Amino acid sequence: MTSAATANGDEIRFVHVGRQPIYDRSGDVIAYELLFRDTSDAAHASQRSAQATSRVIVAAFTEFGLAELAGSKACFVNVTREFLVGDLPVPFDANQAVLEIIETVSVDDTVVAGVRSLVDKGFTLALDDFVRGTDSEQLLDLVTYVKIDMLHAEADEIAETVQHCRKFPHLQLIAERLETEDQLQRAMQLGFEFFQGHVLGRPHILSKASLSPSRLGRLQLIAALSATEPDIDEIVNLISRDPAITYRLLQATNAAASGLSARVSSVRDAAVLLGMATVRQWVTLMLFSDLTEATEEQLMDTLIRARLCQLLADDVGIDAGAAFTVGLLSGIADLLAEPTHDLISQLPLSGAVAEALTDGIGDLGQVLSVVRAYEQGEPTAALKMVGIDTMVGTYLSAVGWSRRTLDGALSTATTPDGAATP
């Protein structure tokens, strides 16, 4: 993940996902493996850790969207021990991706139990770099796919491994690390169902600009989500203060609502649709996956715009929650220097919110137009809705709220061992 500056000097980050195809015996692509990449020109992953996995999952589901990455094809996502045993959440539905157990996972009773639990929930799993005689044999009854390294193993050893796997009729074998035509033909002769390697297709790296999440309210948000009886009002408030988390949560809502008619116009709608358990999973994973963060001041203007839209809408009897969302997403589009239409195309927004952002129409569009004009030094635009004096007071109130939001978040410290203190 790298950072860059927008035209107005704000810092954004670029997220990267490697995508390598998996082919069937006819040469058709049947799936893509999603891979961690630090930069747009990285040939290999710099790490295969829980953090790397989290970043791939968050990027795939909330930055790009599975449809953009894989279309209708299946996705394989590498997972580490933390995801298998439940220390970190798997926040998507079982039918959305294949969980690929990387070879560095030490298989013990806890891992076996975790894998069995995931299978019982409907997840499909793959075993990467399988080697006969290792502890990973305990998983052959549970996984659907087994990947076998064709590059580093001897021919006789590969043949014996294939023969051993055929004792489990449900297994489908993937020949991986195919570097030459000879290796590909050998895999064909051994009866592999699927094939992956540079001789067929190297990983293609996809990159996308994304807002760097700040550390605003991180400890408060985690604490609120972890409460025995979560307070939805507090959680919505905390999420709404962080533009990056808001945007990515709306993306997660879109992934969860795929195929449904539900549309949302606010963070509250998203929280209700997803449910607190899923919100907790997604936000936890988002926080864990972030390596670089924007400064608090970079988000100040966006927060002011969102709050000003909210207050102005409330003054004239328009949906204040939807107005906050309109202001927030328009500010994010400015930060990323990305057309608003492109930014929101994958979000499950209500028609009124989408039309306000893309066409500037409707009551919400008028609110945004007035706020934008005021930002640009045209206070008379406020006469369309409220008096200039009222607008000045409302703007100052929005500035005060945004500053308190930033300062209040920073007032939460951590002790040397990481425990939160008031």
The pLDDT tens digits for 212-247 are 545 445 556 655 665 557 788 888 888 877 777 787
240: how many CB neighbours lie within 10 A of its CB? 24
Averaged pLDDT, 360-389: 86
Contacts 24+ apart (CB under 8 A), 45-50: 45/18, 48/78, 48/80, 48/102, 48/104, 49/80, 50/80, 50/81, 50/82, 50/83, 50/88, 50/288
Q: Is the pLDDT of residue 187 over 50?
A: yes
pLDDT for res 6: 41
Q: Is the pLDDT of residue 407 over 50?
A: yes
Structure tokens at 58: 């968050």
Q: What is the pTM of this model?
A: 0.56
pLDDT for res 129: 92
d(CA 263, CA 334): 24
CB burial of 86-118 (b: ≥16 within 10 Å; e: otherwise) equals: eebbbbbeeebbbbbbbbebebeeebbebbeeb
pLDDT for res 412: 35
pLDDT for res 18: 79
48-97 pLDDT tens trace: 455 565 667 766 665 666 777 777 888 898 888 888 988 777 777 788 88
Residue matched to tokens 């079982």: 94
Averaged pLDDT, 299-321: 85
pLDDT for res 127: 96
pLDDT for res 3: 45
pLDDT for res 366: 92
Structure tokens at 202: 């190297």
pLDDT for res 135: 92
Name 404's Cβ contacts closer than 8 Å, sequence gap at least 6: none
Tell me which range, 75-79, 109-113, 212-216, 335-339, is most confidently predicted by mean pLDDT.
109-113
Residue 271 dihedral angles phi and psi, to the nearest 5°: -65, -40
Q: Is 226 helix (H, G, I), strand (E, B) or coil?
A: helix
pLDDT for res 403: 73
Task: Work out the percent of the chain whose per-residue pLDDT is above 90.
Answer: 30
pLDDT for res 169: 94
Averaged pLDDT, 168-180: 95
d(CA 133, CA 135): 7
pLDDT band at 112 (very low <50, low <70, confident <90, very high): very high
Averaged pLDDT, 149-157: 91
Residue matched to tokens 């533009």: 243
Q: What is the mean pLDDT of the chain?
A: 77
d(CA 12, CA 129): 36
